[in-house]
């Protein structure tokens, strides 16, 4: 079943054409990797999908669960099951980790018509998931992302993913700034959530992450269009020949 | 001097004082009220009284039977009520032992008058008008060595459309005493001019919260004078949310060594409100510490003003005087003004000040939105975080949720307006 469909997406930023006709179809149970050199439009694509202001499509459309999301605000998309793991997670001074998580989870549950967590039940659930991601209790008491190392920030993003149980997750360069150990923890966290009902889009420009989060499909994004698609072996080809070679051949 | 404006109120006060004896404190005070402060007066430049000065007002004659219905949920265990500026024993609690309330006689009132006249509040309109028009000066005194467990709550209410209200208080904490106080201003209409003299004697400590929540038609010009003795401690937190124009002005004189002062405030302003927090701290002796943290949240067409002056006398070595004001603008028609002022005459001191005015951070808002949190809720979360540290630092933990709730009520009406940035 089609969970995410991007149809001929065109987007301009400051009068520059960034997305020039991106089309992609993602079905439930699938993991897609989008790779590309710097400036290919990867972050723009993820902000556009998440519904960030200023990143509206000039042309084309996006369907989440077969429903158009162009008119939906960022928070509506999130409540509908879209999740973006930020490349640079934002610091929220003064906003406690636990209450932030609870607000997010309860917003989604309310939307789904599920009962919201009460304080104690939530803390129990959060601690359980947190320990899987090696996120200490003490970290949840602190302000969101404030003073967190790169690895801690990325682990906290994946913890949020685990608690929100989204339909479609977009992981924007989740591997950037991570050492091997952190990479393993983050990848295990992501893999633990793969199931037949959801889909994951992994955006990266290094092949290494894809050794841990093995994709079903790999797409190469260059100058705002997907120039090549294939299986996981495509990632190894990029590793071997670089993007330049692939772009020239396309 | 507002030459061009017909000073009705000035002549009203002149007429009012004519009934008093020549050297009575009321006559002396009333004669000192010559005009409303004009825009050329430096400390009133950012808070102009033009509209107020044109109002036809008369000082209220307190109604001894009035029982305002404010629906206020009491926080303190001992309640003291002022209605129309007058103390109401019939509506107040019995005072605990160690705390006494008295009405100052003429001589005592003259002494009060001369104490304030020697300070920089000498020409404040509330000083002169309220001393002239107040039904009486009320003195609350905490006896030596008494640490009062009970929280004392003073409620100031009443008022009327075209009448001015004049509550005058003298609070004295005798040596080695402690008091927790919360004061709430909940008047209806026109002009309220509260005047206070706080004397915090050696080794005593006062925790004070003031909530200004008069109705949307009120002008509140609160004037406060504080004297701090050796090793004394004064922690003050003001929350300004009511009134069309509310200004709380405090002059604090650190007269004894090792005195510590926290003069913090939050203003939450919407519509066309004008909120002003003006302070002056005088480090007259060495080894004292003063800290001021002010936070403002402004929406609609409101204006927030913070004027903070710190004066360090030549002999006030080892002074530590810090000041920080931050304001968040939620609409592009709101204005925040900050005027820090440091006058330092000693050379071995630590003094710092900072002021920022900005909007809520777009990246932070988007991050919250991307987790399914609506824009209104995201703004509330960020503003709560913005106010968190100042409330945690100055307000007793037991009162945190009460103060947050008071702030939240004011915020709700300014956050969901359509003129958001």
Task: Write the pLDDT tens digit of every residue in B13-23.
Answer: 989 999 999 99
Average pLDDT, whole number, for chain A?
93
B378–A89: do the CB atoms touch at under 8 Å? no
CB-based contacts of B392, cutoff 8 Å, min separation 6:
B400
Give the CB-side neighbour count of residue A202, counting CA atoms within 13 A. Answer: 30
Average pLDDT, whole number, for chain B?
93
- Contact status of A170 with chain B (Cβ, < 8 Å): no
Q: Which among B250, B237, B243 is positioned nearest to B410, based on CA atoms?
A: B243
How close, in Å, is residue B108 to chain A by CA atoms? Answer: 48
- Round to whole Å and give the CA distance between B261 and B233: 6
pLDDT at residue A61 in the model: 95
A238 — pLDDT class (breaks 50, 70, 90): confident
- Contact status of A89 with chain B (Cβ, < 8 Å): yes
Q: Does the pLDDT of residue B417 top 60, yes or no?
A: no
Q: Bigger pLDDT: B40 or B360? A: B360
B47 — pLDDT class (breaks 50, 70, 90): very high
- Contact status of A189 with chain B (Cβ, < 8 Å): no
What does the pLDDT average to over B94-103?
Answer: 97
pLDDT at residue A38 in the model: 85
CA A134 remoteness from chain centre:
20
Would strands B178-187 and B274-283 be described as parallel, antiparallel, or unpaired?
A: unpaired
CB contact residues (below 8 A), chain A span 129-158, against chain B: 143
B71 secondary structure, DSSP code? -
As a residue count, chain B comes to 421
Q: Which residues of B touch A104 (CB under 8 A)?
A: 371-373
Tens-digit pLDDT profile for residues B59-80:
999 989 999 887 889 999 999 9
With the C-alpha atoms ordered B29, B46, B213, B163, is the resulting torsion angle positive or negative? positive
What are the strands, taking DSSP E only, across B46-136? Answer: 58-59, 78-83, 86-87, 99-103
From B362, B371, B385, residue closest to A160, measured CB to CB: B371
A103–B364: do the CB atoms touch at under 8 Å? no
B3 — pLDDT class (breaks 50, 70, 90): very low
pLDDT at residue B321 in the model: 96
| The residue to which tokens 């469909």 are assigned | A5
CA A178 remoteness from chain centre:
16
- Contact status of A103 with chain B (Cβ, < 8 Å): yes
pLDDT above 70: percentage of residues in chain A:
100
Q: Which residues of A touch B389 (CB under 8 A)?
A: 94
B368–A92: do the CB atoms touch at under 8 Å? yes
What does the pLDDT average to over B301-330?
Answer: 96
Query: Which H or E run contains B138?
Result: strand B137-142
β-partners of residue B335 are B303
pLDDT at residue B329 in the model: 96
pLDDT at residue B7 in the model: 61
B420 secondary structure, DSSP code? B
Q: Which residues of A touch B366 (CB under 8 A)?
A: 52-53, 74, 90
- Round to whole Å and give the CA distance between A88 and B397: 35
Asked if residues B217 and B190 have their Cβ atoms less than 8 Å apart, the reply is yes
Tens-digit pLDDT profile for residues B101-125:
999 999 999 999 999 999 999 999 9
- Round to whole Å and give the CA distance between B333 and B302: 7
Q: Does the pLDDT of residue B4 top 50, yes or no?
A: no
Q: Does the pLDDT of residue B5 top 50, yes or no?
A: no
Asked if residues B336 and B304 have their Cβ atoms less than 8 Å apart, the reply is yes
- Round to whole Å and give the CA distance between B83 and B93: 14
Q: Does the pLDDT of residue A1 top 90, yes or no?
A: no
How close, in Å, is residue B377 to chain A by CA atoms? Answer: 9
Tens-digit pLDDT profile for residues B380-406:
999 999 998 889 888 989 999 999 999
β-partners of residue A13 are A16
With the C-alpha atoms ordered A47, A49, A50, A54, is the resulting torsion angle positive or negative? positive
A143–B382: do the CB atoms touch at under 8 Å? no
pLDDT above 70: percentage of residues in chain B:
97
Tens-digit pLDDT profile for residues B132-175:
999 999 999 999 999 999 999 999 999 998 999 999 999 999 99
pLDDT at residue A89 in the model: 97
What does the pLDDT average to over A18-37?
Answer: 96
Token pair in block for residue A244: 């330049």
From A79, A90, A93, residue closest to B367, measured CB to CB: A90
B420 — pLDDT class (breaks 50, 70, 90): low
Give the CB-side neighbour count of residue B186, counting CA atoms within 13 A. Answer: 18
Q: Which residues of B touch A78 (CB under 8 A)?
A: 369-373
- Round to whole Å and give the CA distance between A152 and A135: 7
- Following DSSP, what letter does each residue of B233-295 receive, concatenated? EEEEEEEE--SSEEEEEEEEEE-STT-EEEEEEEEEE-TT-EEEEEEEEEE-SSS-EEEEEEE
Tell me what ipTM this predicted complex has. Answer: 0.96
Give SS3 for A89: coil
Q: What totals of helices (H) and strands (E) does chain B contain, helices first?
A: 8, 22
pLDDT at residue A250 in the model: 66
What does the pLDDT average to over B297-320?
Answer: 96
Chain A residue with the nearest C-alpha to that of B381: A95
Asked if residues B2 and B36 have their Cβ atoms less than 8 Å apart, the reply is yes
Alpha helices in A32-89 (DSSP H): 42-50, 74-79
Token pair in block for residue A93: 């001074």
- Round to whole Å and give the CA distance between B377 and B412: 10
- Contact status of A75 with chain B (Cβ, < 8 Å): yes
Give SS3 for B203: coil
How close, in Å, is residue B379 to chain A by CA atoms? Answer: 12
- Round to whole Å and give the CA distance between A242 and A246: 7
């Amino acid at each position: 079943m089609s969970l995410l469909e991007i149809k001929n997406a065109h987007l301009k930023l400051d009068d520059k054409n960034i997305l020039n006709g991106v089309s992609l179809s993602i079905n439930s149970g699938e993991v897609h990797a989008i790779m590309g050199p710097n400036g290919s439009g990867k972050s723009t694509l993820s902000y556009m999908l998440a519904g960030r202001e200023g990143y509206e499509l000039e042309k084309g459309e996006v369907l989440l669960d077969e429903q158009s999301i162009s008119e939906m605000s960022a928070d509506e998309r999130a409540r509908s099951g879209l999740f973006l793991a930020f490349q640079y997670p934002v610091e929220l001074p003064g906003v406690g980790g636990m209450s932030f998580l609870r607000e997010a989870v309860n917003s989604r549950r309310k939307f789904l018509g599920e009962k919201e967590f009460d304080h104690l039940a939530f803390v129990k659930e959060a601690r359980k998931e947190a320990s899987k991601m090696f996120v200490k209790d003490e970290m949840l008491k602190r302000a969101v992302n404030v003073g967190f190392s790169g690895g801690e920030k990325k682990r906290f993003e994946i913890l949020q993913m685990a608690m929100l149980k989204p339909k479609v997750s977009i992981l924007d360069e989740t591997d950037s700034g991570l050492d091997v150990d952190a990479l393993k923890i983050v990848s295990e966290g992501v893999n633990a959530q793969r199931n037949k009902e959801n889909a994951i889009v992994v955006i990266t420009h290094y092949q290494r992450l894809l050794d841990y989060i093995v994709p079903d499909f790999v797409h190469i994004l260059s100058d705002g269009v997907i120039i090549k698609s294939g299986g996981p072996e495509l990632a190894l080809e990029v590793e071997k020949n670089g993007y330049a070679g692939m772009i020239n051949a396309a | 001097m507002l030459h061009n404006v017909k000073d009705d109120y000035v002549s009203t006060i002149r007429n009012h004082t004519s009934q008093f004896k020549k050297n009575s404190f009321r006559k002396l005070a009333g004669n000192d009220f010559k005009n409303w402060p004009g825009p050329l007066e430096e400390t009133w430049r950012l808070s102009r009284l033009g509209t107020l000065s044109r109002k036809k007002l008369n000082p209220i004659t307190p109604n001894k039977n009035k029982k305002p219905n404010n629906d206020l949920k009491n926080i303190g265990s001992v309640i003291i009520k002022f209605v129309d500026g007058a103390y109401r024993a019939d509506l107040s609690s019995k005072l605990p032992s160690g705390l006494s309330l008295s009405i100052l006689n003429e001589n005592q009132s003259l002494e009060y008058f001369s104490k304030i006249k020697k300070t920089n509040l000498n020409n404040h309109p509330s000083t002169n008008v309220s001393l002239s028009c107040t039904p009486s000066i009320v003195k609350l005194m905490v006896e030596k060595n008494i640490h009062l467990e009970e929280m004392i709550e003073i409620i100031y209410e009443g008022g009327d459309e075209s009448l001015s209200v004049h509550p005058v208080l003298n609070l004295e904490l005798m040596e080695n005493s402690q008091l927790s106080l919360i004061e709430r201003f909940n008047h209806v209409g026109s002009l309220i001019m509260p005047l206070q003299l706080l004397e915090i004697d050696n080794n005593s400590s006062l925790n004070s919260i003031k909530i200004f929540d008069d109705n949307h038609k009120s002008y509140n010009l609160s004037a406060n004078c504080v004297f701090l003795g050796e090793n004394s401690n004064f922690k003050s937190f003001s929350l300004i949310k009511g009134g069309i124009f509310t200004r709380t002005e405090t002059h604090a004189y650190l007269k004894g060594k090792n005195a510590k002062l926290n003069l913090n405030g939050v203003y939450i302003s919407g519509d066309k409100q004008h909120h002003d927090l003006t302070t002056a701290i005088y480090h007259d002796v060495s080894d004292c510490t003063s800290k001021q943290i002010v936070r403002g949240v402004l929406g609609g067409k409101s204006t927030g003003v913070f004027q903070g002056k710190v004066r360090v006398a030549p002999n006030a070595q080892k002074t530590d005087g810090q000041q920080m004001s931050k304001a968040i603008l939620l609409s592009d028609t709101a204005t925040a003004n900050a005027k820090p002022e440091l006058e330092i005459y000693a050379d071995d001191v630590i003094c710092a000040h900072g002021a920022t005015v900005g909007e809520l951070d777009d990246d932070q808002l988007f991050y919250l939105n991307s987790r399914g949190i609506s824009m209104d809720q995201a703004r509330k979360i960020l503003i709560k975080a913005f106010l968190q540290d100042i409330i945690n630092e100055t307000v007793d933990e037991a009162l945190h949720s009460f103060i947050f709730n008071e702030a939240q009520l004011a915020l709700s009406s300014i956050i969901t307006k359509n003129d958001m940035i």
